[in-house]
Amino acid sequence: MTFPELIGINKKIVLASKSPRRKKLLENLGFELEIINSNYKEEKVDNHKDYPQYVIFNAEQKGLSVQKKISDDCIIISADTIVVLNDEILHKPKDTEEAFLILKKLSGNTHQVYTGICLIDNKTQKIIKDYKQTNVSFRELEDNEIWQYINTGSPMDKAGAYGIQDDFGAIFVNKIEGCYYNIVGLPLELLYNMLKKMNTI
């Protein structure tokens, strides 16, 4: 039995994201996806009083922007992930120098990863929104380790300038409190329960 069959989802799934990591996670669960990238540009802020509200709002706006493009009977999945250290949102680095500064900030510290998820049933117009938080602790990083990682190119398209799913990025992390897949960008346990709820309301 596939994951979609387990929760009784027989509609097409549209992923409102160009993230290869989210795409791979959903495909590994057995979903056949249509990818439609959102054109919503979230406001870039360095701090926010309510991080759960911030990621949920961005996820919903991404989903709504894709909904305007399609008329199919489907479920739209959209998400937004941020990395927060000491009340500062660490965005994707603009260049290698900024990537280095971000990773130096994370070195030896504990930060938070928030992911908001929004599900939209394009036929019934039902919307479900929620979020997940994970605490991530980095060991002390050496400068040469940081530059070697940056030279792989991997940090440049990721919030917080690292990917825990990378072999190199993973060795920076010495402790996780919460959902691992939330750090990757799509908390699967949360998504599972949201899809079950979507199928029963």
* CATH code of residue 167: 3.90.950.10
| pLDDT score at 65 | 96
Number of domains the chain contains: 1
Band of the pLDDT at 106, cuts 50, 70, 90? very high
What is the mean pLDDT of the segment spanning 105-110? 97
Would you say 7 and 196 are in contact if contact means Cβ atoms under 8 Å apart? yes
| pLDDT score at 18 | 87
Q: How big is the CA angle at 118 (ends 117 and 121), to the nearest 5 degrees?
A: 145
Q: Could you report the per-residue pLDDT of 177-195, keeping only the tens digit for each?
A: 999 999 999 999 999 999 9
What is the mean pLDDT of the segment spanning 126-138? 97
Q: Among residues 46, 72, 73, 80, which one is catalytic?
A: 80
Supply the mean pLDDT for the chain: 92
Does the structure show a pLDDT above 60 at 5? yes
Q: Could you report the per-residue pLDDT of 54-95, keeping only the tens digit for each?
A: 999 999 999 999 999 998 899 999 999 999 999 999 989 999
73 catalytic? Reply is no
Segments forming the whole domain that contains residue 137:
3-198
How is 158-196 classified by DSSP, letter by letter? SGGG--TTSHHHHTTEEEEES-HHHHHT--HHHHHHHHH
Per the model's pLDDT, the better-predicted residue between 5 and 162 turns out to be 162
